[in-house]
Amino acid sequence: MIKGVNKIVLAYSGGLDTSVILKWLQEKYQCEVVTFTADLGQREEIESARAKAQAAGVKEIFIEDLRQDFVENYVFPMFRANTVYEGEYLLGTSIARPLIAKKLVEIAHQTKSDTISHGATGKGNDQVRFELGAYAVDPEIKIIAPWREWDLLSREKLLNYADNHGIPVEMKHKSGGSPYSMDANLLHISYEGRHLEDPKNAPEESMWRWSVSPQKAPNEGEEIIIEFNNGDPVKLNEKTLPGHVLLDQLNIIGGKHGIGRLDLVENRFVGMKSRGCYETPGGSILLKAHRSIEALTLDRELAHLKDELMPRYAKLIYNGFWWSPEREALQQLINFSQINVRGWVKLRLYKGNIEVLGRDSDVSLFDEKIATFEDDAGAYDQYDATGFIKLNALRLRIAKKYRKN
């Protein structure tokens, strides 16, 4: 138990975990609890959290619309690096945590609270992300992680606690079991728990919320055009949109065509493997489009350097080091690489697939006069390749000769 706590700011969604945590904090620490609910585009009625917090006796309730801040200052900088963790995961949960941690600390300062609290379990990555982020913003902040203190160590026990304390909980599973553990924002929605804990089990079709299955997607593909500037998407189908609006529209379009589903066994920072399912329709489209415009506008060695650094950058975000000096240093390099990443990409979405139909840029490095298979009128002297090949083969030829001897 944390000592000397006078006031707590709780990251509060109004769901099962944080509703129980709110009551538990009030009973355990006998102090005032402030709630903070972030609107990150989770497609849920977050104002209901206000009524739940009021019913629990909370006097200071913060509900903030962070959608534009989240997408333009966290998601887009990450996508400039084409960031993917372990080859598949687009880091939808990971990238939201530093923003929430920052806001928790800011509200703590505003309300003269000395402590923050979160609903992340002691087995997961989010406890690390929240707390590393909070300590980076305020090294002296106190943090309460109830899952590391209490004995309510299963979702069934949480449901029983809620029933015993008169806490209303939505989305109880029809069979009486625990609901999925879910996290949603404008970049993705994730699902963990229940029968997903056995990697052999296929996801239930009824679980998915944002996308249809590719089999049930329209039989006609849909073409879209995304325009980029400085590596960020700025237009969808020739219409300039704020980042959060553009990503939301891509989620709707992509979900309609069965795009962005993922079933993944990943390596958590705390050491264990976990199985989760994700829907990231808009992010999957953006990744494809961004790589396509980069292929046209990035120098070869700079593009390859980015690809080499990306796994390190992805691991930093996954592990909660968004505010670390090494991530910020990498971000500077990534941002520099995007200065001339501009132009448009045309895509076709069809039954879970994303097909590039074309791309163009006024700073394209593709020179048709040099690349052509037709007569290039002397733009490229093919004889020059002879010396290029011989120089590159020199060490191989020498090595082979001495190995043979």
Active site residue 151: no
| 151 CB neighbour count, 10 Å cutoff | 6
Q: Which residues of 177-214 are buried (b: 16+ CB within 10 A; e: fewer)?
A: ebbbbbbbbbbbbbbbebebeeeeeebeeeebebbbee
Strand partners, 262: 278
67, 80, 97, 194: the active-site residue: 97
Active site residue 97: yes
17, 183, 232, 248: the active-site residue: 17
181, 211, 292, 337: the active-site residue: 181
10 Å CB burial of residue 240 (0-12, 13-18, 19+) is: exposed
67, 80, 126, 359: the active-site residue: 126
* Nearest Cα residue to 251 out of 167, 161, 189: 189
Active site residue 17: yes
Active site residue 194: no
Task: Give the catalytic positions in this structure.
Answer: 17, 97, 126, 181
